[in-house]
């Protein structure tokens, strides 16, 4: 199938993106890697009248450590985030989860911001964001606002981003050097779409677990913190 007719715009500055979103509102959708949005358009599940492409906007594909967190620009490709020495050192759970996101061709095109903003219930990074208490920075004509990951993912393909806004940045806390993290998932075939998955983050104090964070994907419309299981580990 092919999508219904739509207008395509490729702004070169964030200010232009914000202006287009303010102009078109609910008729517009932002596209980053397109690995999730395009199939839904082809199936006519999503029917934007205007598609705003971020690929020509400079300066949106960064990974930066800023004190207590690592910031990801929305256009950071998943394969770059997965292979980044900075991410592997300070946010290893992000790198571990991205290894499950599909074949190299998909990871090379997909973006960090795209998968978070799309909010698929079986996407890996949303579960990691909830487990690590990440913060999403949303930007629109009225400025920027910060939303905790637990409040960002509202349900299937639904986030706290309003029609006149877009996900400007994702901030993941720097993990303790002595922490343990792991990500695993079950799928119907190798490198296929996941059925369920689990993000695990533990902070240790000697032989004792001081903090435990477990977030499951695929068991509810949004990533789910497993609070009872976390308590059993303390």
Q: Which residue has the higher pLDDT, 191 or 16?
A: 16
pLDDT band at 2 (very low <50, low <70, confident <90, very high): confident
Cβ–Cβ under 8 Å, residues 214 and 203? no
Give pLDDT, residue 106.
87
Q: What is the DSSP string of 163-182?
A: TTEEEEEEEEEPPPTT-EEE
Rounded CA separation 224/198 (Å):
10
* Helix, coil or strand: residue 125: helix
Beta bridge mates, 152:
none
* The Cα angle at residue 175 between residues 174 and 180, in degrees rounded to 5: 160
User: What are the DSSP E strand ranges found in the chain?
Assistant: 7-9, 28-31, 50-53, 63-66, 69-72, 135-140, 143-148, 153-155, 158-159, 165-173, 180-187, 194-205, 208-217, 224-225
Residue 111: count other Cβ atoms within 10 Å of its Cβ.
29
Instruction: Please check the confidence at residue 190 and state whether its pLDDT lies above 70.
Output: no
Tell me the average pLDDT of the chain: 95
Instruction: Please check the confidence at residue 1 and state whether its pLDDT lies above 80.
Output: no
Instruction: Please check the confidence at residue 48 and state whether its pLDDT lies above 90.
Output: yes
Nearest one of 116, 171, 162 to 141, comparing CA atoms: 162
Supply φ then ψ for residue 96, to 5 degrees. Answer: -65, -40
Residue 15: count other Cβ atoms within 10 Å of its Cβ.
11
Q: What is the mean pLDDT of residues 3-28?
A: 95
Query: Among 84-88, 114-118, 192-196, 202-206, whose mean pLDDT is lowest?
Result: 192-196
Q: Model pTM greater than 0.85?
A: yes
Per-residue pLDDT tens over the stretch 53-106: 999 999 999 999 999 999 999 999 999 999 999 999 999 999 999 999 988 988
């Amino acid at each position: 199938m092919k999508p219904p007719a739509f207008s395509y715009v490729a702004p070169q500055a964030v200010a232009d993106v914000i202006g287009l979103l303010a102009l078109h509102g609910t008729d517009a959708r932002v596209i980053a890697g397109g690995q999730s949005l395009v199939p839904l358009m082809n199936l006519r599940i999503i029917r934007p009248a205007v598609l705003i492409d971020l690929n020509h906007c400079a300066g949106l594909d960064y990974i930066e450590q800023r004190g207590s967190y690592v910031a990801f620009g929305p256009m950071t490709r998943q394969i770059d985030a997965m292979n980044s020495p900075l991410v592997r050192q300070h946010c290893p759970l992000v790198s571990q989860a991205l290894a499950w996101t599909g074949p190299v061709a998909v990871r090379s095109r997909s973006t960090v911001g795209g998968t978070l903003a799309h909010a698929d219930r079986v996407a890996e990074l949303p579960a990691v964001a909830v487990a690590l208490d990440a913060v999403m920075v949303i930007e629109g004509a009225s400025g920027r606002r910060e939303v905790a990951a637990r409040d960002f993912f509202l349900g299937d393909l639904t986030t706290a981003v309003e029609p006149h806004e877009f996900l400007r940045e994702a901030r993941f806390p720097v993990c303790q050097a002595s922490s343990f993290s792991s990500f695993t998932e079950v799928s119907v075939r190798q490198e296929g779409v996941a059925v369920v998955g689990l993000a695990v983050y533990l902070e240790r104090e000697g032989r004792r677990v001081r903090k435990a964070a477990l977030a499951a994907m695929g068991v509810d419309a949004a990533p789910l913190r497993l609070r009872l299981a976390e308590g059993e580990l303390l």
